[in-house]
Amino acid sequence: MKVCFFTNLLYTSRSNEFIKIISLKFAKTKATFCNIFWGYFMTIQRTFSIIKPDATRRNLTGAINSKIEASGLRIIAQKRIHMSDREAREFYAIHAERPFYNDLVSFMTSGPVVVQVLEGQNAITAYREVMGSTNPSEAADGTIRKEFAEGIEANSVHGSDSIENAAIEIAYFFTNEEIVG
Ligand code: ATP
Ligand code: MG
């Protein structure tokens, strides 16, 4: 009924200005519908990634980035750094009580790492899937850890495990100006 009313008005009017206004009204409705539809099915997220020292040592940065990009995720910020002892301890503070904590800190500071911000649809879960299980012997075929990890500790990559942690981890290593999109 509403559509018929608009169509009739469009048909009978000779004014270009009037047609423009009505067309804009339709465009706005269409855009709103598309936004609701898009937002319901697609969630663009950012996640934080580290290419760990075992992987940089074996010159695997490019191979790992290929897998990330092949999955549809975009590397929107990236830098190669050498983590300090304090940074590694703070970053993995959640594991401070675990028996492997000190070894993990030594490993993460044993060589350069590549820290990255990845963006894409459901990026947090999507990247965890590309990474594979913590223990490479349990990781699915085709995942980064299955193909490249040396063991449960030297497992080549880190990826955030929640929206909250992704935001904290990204802010820990990157300023807004460094995330260029
Ligand atoms: P990450 O946080 O690095 O993405 P993850 O979420 O798969 O890995 P976590 O349980 O958070 O796994 O462990 C953090 C890291 O600690 C692992 O990636 C690995 O490097 C190391 N780690 C975990 N479990 C062990 C273990 N049993 N022995 C030695 N190192 C371990
Ligand atoms: Mg973890």
Q: Give me the catalytic one of 158, 166, 169, 174.
A: 158
Q: Which amino acid is at 26?
A: F
Q: Identify the CA nearest to 134 among candidates 72, 18, 52.
A: 52
Among the listed residues 181, 147, 169, 145, the one whose alpha carbon sits nearest the alpha carbon of residue 52: 145
Neighbours of 10 (CB within 10 A): 13
| Confidence tier at 10 by pLDDT (50, 70, 90) | very low
Choose the residue to mutate in 49, 95, 106, 134 for probing ligand 1, maximizing ligand atoms within 8 Å of C-beta. Answer: 134
Determine the pLDDT at residue 21. Answer: 54
- The dihedral over CA atoms of 140, 70, 52, 125, expressed in degrees to the nearest 10, equals -60
Indicate the range of 9-18, 94-103, 125-134 predicted with least confidence: 9-18
Residue 2: per-residue pLDDT: 39
pLDDT confidence band for 15 (50 / 70 / 90): low
Task: Give the mutation target among 92, 101, 102, 104 for probing the ligand 1 site: most ligand atoms within 8 A of CB.
Answer: 104
Question: Is pLDDT at 164 greater than 80 in this prediction?
Answer: yes
Burial class of residue 156 (count of CB atoms within 10 Å of its CB; 0-12, 13-18, 19+): buried
Nearest one of 74, 47, 78, 70 to 147, comparing CA atoms: 70
pLDDT surpassing 90 at residue 29: no
**Residue 158 annotated in active site:** yes
Closest to 149 in 3D by CA, of 173, 133, 165: 133
Expressed in angstroms and rounded, the spacing between residue 4 Cα and the centre of ligand 1 is 62
pLDDT of residue 26: 60
Residue nearest ligand 1's atom 22 by CA: 153
pTM of the model: 0.82
Tally of residues, the chain: 181
Q: What is the average per-residue pLDDT within 108-137?
A: 98
How much is the average pLDDT of 116-143? 98
What are the backbone dihedrals phi and psi of residue 2, each rounded to the nearest 5 degrees, phi first? -65, -40
Q: Give CA–CA dist 181/179, Å, rounded.
A: 6
Mean pLDDT of the chain: 87
87: confidence class by pLDDT, cuts 50, 70, 90:
very high
pLDDT band at 9 (very low <50, low <70, confident <90, very high): very low
